[in-house]
Amino acid sequence: MKKCVLVSGGAGFIGSHVTVELIEAGYDVIVADNLSNCDLTCFEGVKKITGRDDLAFHKVDFCDASATDELFSSNRIDAVIHFAGFKAVGESVSEPLKYYRNNLTSFINVIEACRRRGCSNILFSSSATVYGEPDSVPVTEQSPRKPATSSYGNTKQMCEDILRDSVQAYSEIRGIALRYFNPIGAHPSALIGELPRGVPNNLVPFITQTAIGKRECLSVFGNDYPTPDGTCQRDFIDIVDLAKAHVFAVRRMLEGKMKNEYEIFNVGTGKPLSVMELITRFEAANGLKLNYKFAPRREGDVVAIWADPSLANAELGWKAERDIDDTLAAAWAWEKHLAE
């Protein structure tokens, strides 16, 4: 019998790509989302990519404990990947209670439903924001977690702790936290990709929206950082590579291959790229010139961070493979698809 994976927040950017990879790896998938930060565009794209017209969508708010429990009680769920949560860093600074209430409550409800309904395997969508401004780069899983620079980042740290403590307290639960670096790009089919509501919070949608004329000018926040070209350095990872890491992690849990009941893995390329380098590579990959300007530094931005992904490479058997130019070409193809 096929194993079944619940993807909470499965209609969003990362969730939709993970759903594709899970289906293509032979899993049954249940997609659930409250559509507070997305619509069904990517879900419909997932059905086209996978040929799964019968893929079920459940509109569920995971902050509703009874609705969450009902989803678990009416389906056989072997593992859950938890994405559902608010994710705008800037908004989290101005509306912290909104973020704490939503992101913590939803995850607690998922863990409680897992315990009640016999689902032992929980994969949490964490973030490199937990490292803050690191003492040294690249960061390993043993690098210290620094005080978060935003409520969003703090909820990632707190959810990691909630999962760790739950695993320690409840013998029936296992957990993995994947710490993502900077997911970018779109599926090569151009049928799913990043679809921000309103003003994008992430760099690549800003780039593609500027390229297509939705936005007049791209602002580069800060060109006086202590980096080779003065702009921030990040670990940009292709969204499909990132999605595949979840398949490896879920398989590790379901096949009983975990070495500890709670594990953490960095999911990145290990190769830093500056903001200006990314812009230049986008222009070259797509034969475009972008209108951009330098703007003052943005509060909360880390100067430079990138992953040491060697633990995930060795333990999960996963490695980032896609070329950055292909990633940026896919992002542009997705933007053009949206404009059709």
Q: Are strands 273-274 and 233-234 parallel, antiparallel or unpaired?
A: antiparallel
Pair 141, 178: CB distance under 8 Å = no
Give the pLDDT score at 298: 85
Per-residue model confidence (pLDDT) at position 198: 82
pLDDT the model gives residue 47: 98
Position 31, amino acid: V
Please state, in angstroms and rounded to a whole number, the distance separating the CA atoms of residues 110 and 116.
10
CA pair distance 138, 159, nearest whole angstrom: 23
* Structural contact between residues 243 and 117, judged by C-beta atoms closer than 8 angstroms: no
pLDDT band at 89 (very low <50, low <70, confident <90, very high): confident
Tens digit of each residue's pLDDT (9 = 90 or more) over 192-226: 999 988 888 889 999 999 999 999 999 999 999 99
Q: What is the DSSP letter of 143?
A: S
Whether the per-residue pLDDT at 72 is higher than 90: the answer is yes
pLDDT at 295 over 90: yes
What average pLDDT score do residues 288-308 get? 93
pLDDT tens digit sequence for 218-275? 999 999 999 999 999 999 999 999 999 999 999 999 999 999 999 999 999 999 999 9
The average confidence (pLDDT) of the chain is: 96
Report pLDDT for 300: 76
Inform me whether the pLDDT recorded for 317 exceeds 90.
yes
Averaged pLDDT, 117-121 = 97
- The closest alpha carbon to 300, from 160, 166, 110, 152, belongs to 152
Shortest CA distance to 228 belongs to which of 284, 304, 292, 281? 304
Beta bridge partner(s), residue 236: 182
pLDDT band (50, 70, 90) for residue 321:
very high
Give residue 148's pLDDT band: very low, low, confident or very high (50, 70, 90). Answer: confident
pLDDT at 233: 98
Please tell me the predicted confidence (pLDDT) of residue 81: 98
Question: What amino acid positions are annotated as catalytic residues?
Answer: 152
Instruction: Please list the alpha-helical segments (H only) found in the chain.
Output: 13-24, 41-50, 65-73, 89-94, 96-117, 151-169, 203-212, 239-254, 275-286, 310-311, 324-339
Rounded CA-CA distance 204/118 in Å is 40
Q: How far apart (Å, rounded) are the C-alpha atoms in residues 266 and 321?
A: 15
Query: Which pLDDT belongs to residue 127?
Result: 96
